[in-house]
Chains A and B, each alone.
Chain A
Amino acid sequence: MSAIVRFLTRRRGGKGWHWTDIVTWAWLVGGLLIMFGPAVWLVGSSFKSPAALAEFPPTILPYVTQKVTVEGYDKPLDLYEATLEDGSTVVLAEVRRIGVTSQMVDPAKPGEIIKVNIAKRTPVREMSFATANYTEPFTHFDFVRYLWNSVFVTVTATLITLIVNSMAAFALSKYEFRGRTVAMLVILATLMVPLSVIMVPLYSIVSALGLFNNLWGVILPTVATPTGVFILRQYMLTIPDELVDAARMDKASEWQIYWRIILPLTAPALAVLAIFSVVWRWNDFLWPLIVLSRKELYTLQVGLSIYSGELNVQWHFILAMTVVTMIPVVLVFIFLQRFITTGIAGTGLK
């Protein structure tokens, strides 16, 4: 506790608040609000009913108007607190609204209609989480399918990335062969050809291979990432060659050396690459947008962007689906934050 107090009151130079202390705290607290605020607001909004979402000014927490079933009426009626002409306030249920006049009934005495000016009534509200925003897309839309497509693409692409890149890195770090430098340079050159530059010809190649409208068309072009080869190679270079030589003496095949010795020792670097591959592939957008034109093949990202264009009014579904899309990445962030931030600083990866 005293450490916290000492920390909170620590200032530059010791006495008095230096202006840099104020800037620091303003920046940090402002940063906290600006960085987390929008996502928190999104999650909060995703639990609001469509009516609450259309409201302005919005409420912080999700509220809905309380409803009551009144004898003689088929549907449940909205409850209002109305101020009557004699100045007393009563809780009434609204039957219908005509112009500025609202026809209301006392839920206890449903026979008698009371007319109230709409300015003289306020809805009786209760907090309610519209979980239907989450459950309905599962039944009404192809949401589960999108989810499955995204999971399939992410998992498969990551596995292939790890295997293919580690094999290449092994070759480039533990063998002497002609053309090694050329291979390195060619892989390095990929850094200069991002997707946005080659998407037109890539599209035709993927189509020619019959992978248009196929999840493999999304997966394959992404798996030979140069960053992956480089991280793994740098790591494998630190593994002593004597280990490989000793294994060869013991009559291990090159393949066994790769998967029994090198791969387990490269585990930390593989883990970093795996985390990043998962985040990259889960978040991919432009390429899936180009390759997938059949609805049932959409990944979450594509489905979400198409829906947000088509169902502009149905924000309640879009918000809920956005939250679901965020979940895996937020989990990765919560559990692996320490590794990711140090991993990035160390390798300049992303």
Chain B
Amino acid sequence: MDESGRSGLGQIAMMPIHFLMGVLDAPLRWLQRATGINGMAAFFLLPNMMIFGVFVLLPFFINFAYSMTGGTALFLPDRSFVGADQYARLFDCGSYIDPGSCAEDTFWTAVRNTGWFVVLQVTLMILVSLVTALILNRELMARSFWRAVFFFPVLLSPVVVGLIWKWILQRQGLLNFGLYSLGFDPYVWLNDRNWSFAATIGVSIWAHMGFYTLILLAGLQAIPKDLYEAAEMDGTRPARAFWRITLPLLMPNLLVVVVLVLIRAVQIFDEVYVLTGGGPGTSTLYLTQYIYETGFAAQLRNPGLAAAASILMGAVLVVLTLLQLGLGRSEKKGGRK
């Protein structure tokens, strides 16, 4: 589309690309003659499918094989078959309520931590992003500015997020400065098991709430305004309008967001790894970090066990993803958005 009137600079920048694409044309014409027009579909699909097959599909299936092998060797052929031993090891517990009684006690600690993290983080995340979306949906000046304010941390890298908050929560940090100004003693927050756990929840909400706020806001804006006008005409109080109009009509979006937050929360790793490193002790050790450490940390390396644990986590994620896809479909069928 050379005649589309693009700027001269863009045109020059595109020149090598056009040249490359042009060079490819002759051999591809030949291919087209050999395969026919619809045969070219396979050619266009090929690069994606190859990369996808090698780096997603293949590992997905090999994962099952891995989980049935033992030892510390890396390559599958070098590993010994142990059947369901790794799973048996993961489930070898005196009592499932007490992680200390399990053969693989860090796994159950990670499961329990992740469970609590998911429950608390998802609840708070939904509450905070729903309130923010409702507020951004009011008649506001510079709404796009406020929207951007809450969205900003979403783009930051997890490492940066972790470091920012590590810096604020440390002994000489901003939080202690604020408390000190109010007359409290400084405290080393991240050395405290409970505060450290709370920090991982707070920081992950800080980092991601803007994204969910945006989805909920889009849902809110799709609710027809005349519904509220009619309700007002009938003398309906705003609180009642919220429960009877806003919430039911937002429900499809809300459910999708709940499942999305769940999927993300189960896999939490990066920002926590930088912020607390899983500590103090094992108080913020979550599943992904358990898999990472079991599979890759030099001394304890046990790829088979890590694969077995990741399959258990994957099972949970598959259920959640199917739920999300189902919800997404019913939302579209409803004809909204």
Contacts and interface: CB of A to CB of B under 8 A. Distances in A.
A66 interface: no
Interface string A320-350: 0010011001101100011011001110101
B28, B157, B158, most chain A CB atoms within 10 A: B157
Contacts of B292: 199, 286, 290
Instruction: Give the one of B44, B60, B146, B307 with max A CB within 10 A.
Output: B44
A279 B155 contact: yes
Interface stretch (B105-113, B117-125, B209-217): B209-217
Interface string A169-201: 011100111001001001110111110111111
Contacts of B40: 171, 175, 254-255
Contact of B159 (A7, A31, A301): A301
Nearest to B209: A35
Interface string A227-255: 00100000000000000000010000111
Contact of B55 (A197, A221, A279): A221
Interface in A290-333: 290, 301, 304-305, 308-309, 315, 318-319, 322, 325-326, 329-330, 332-333
Interface string A8-24: 10100000000010011
Contacts of A199: 291-292, 295, 310
Interface in B70-91: 74-76
Given A31-B150, A167-B44, A325-B159, A198 B59 contact: yes
A203 B157 contact: no
A304 B158 CA distance: 11
Contact of B180 (A57, A248, A309): A57
Nearest to B57: A186
B95 interface: no
Given A164-B51, A177-B41, A224-B52, A308 B310 contact: no
Contact of A333 (B58, B75, B155, B291): B155
B132 A282 contact: no
B31 to A, nearest CB: 9
Contacts of A348: 215, 256, 328
A259 B17 CA distance: 10
Contacts of A172: 45
Interface of A is mostly: helix
A305 B159 contact: yes
B214 A344 contact: yes
A205 B65 CA distance: 13
A35 B44 contact: no
Contacts of B32: 253-255
A255 B24 CA distance: 8
Given A176-B38, A197-B310, A315-B167, A205 B159 contact: no
B139 interface: yes
Q: Which of A196, A264, A344 has the most CB of B within 10 A?
A: A196
A129 interface: no
B156 A39 contact: yes
A201 B66 contact: yes
A341 B186 contact: no
Contact of B267 (A4, A191, A194): A194
Given A4-B141, A190-B56, A198 B310 contact: yes
Q: Which among A200, A253, A259, A340 has the highest number of chain B CB atoms within 10 Å? A: A200
Contacts of A65: none
A119 interface: no
A345 B214 contact: yes
B313 to A, nearest CB: 6
A42 B160 CA distance: 10
Given A258-B44, A261-B1, A201 B62 contact: yes
Nearest to A187: B52
A319 B167 contact: yes
Contact of B56 (A198, A283, A350): A198
Nearest to A330: B155
Interface string A211-229: 0000000001101100001
A177 B274 CA distance: 47
Nearest to A13: B238
Given A168-B49, A285-B270, A192 B75 contact: no
A242 to B, nearest CB: 16
B61 to A, nearest CB: 8
Given A38-B164, A203-B295, A170 B148 contact: no
Task: Pick from B32, B41, B165, B256 the residue with the most CB of A within 10 Å.
Answer: B41
B52 A54 contact: no
Interface string B288-312: 1001100110000001001100110
Given A35-B153, A56-B176, A283-B156, 18 more contacts: A4-B141, A28-B149, A36-B149, A41-B164, A56-B171, A58-B174, A167-B48, A200-B63, A200-B291, A207-B75, A253-B25, A285-B157, A308-B163, A325-B159, A326-B156, A330-B155, A345-B217, A348-B328
17 contacts: A39-B152, A39-B164, A168-B49, A171-B43, A183-B49, A193-B314, A199-B291, A200-B63, A201-B65, A204-B62, A254-B37, A254-B40, A255-B25, A283-B158, A290-B292, A304-B163, A348-B215
| Ranked 8 nearest A-B pairs via Cβ | A283-B157, A175-B41, A168-B48, A171-B44, A345-B218, A201-B59, A197-B314, A201-B62
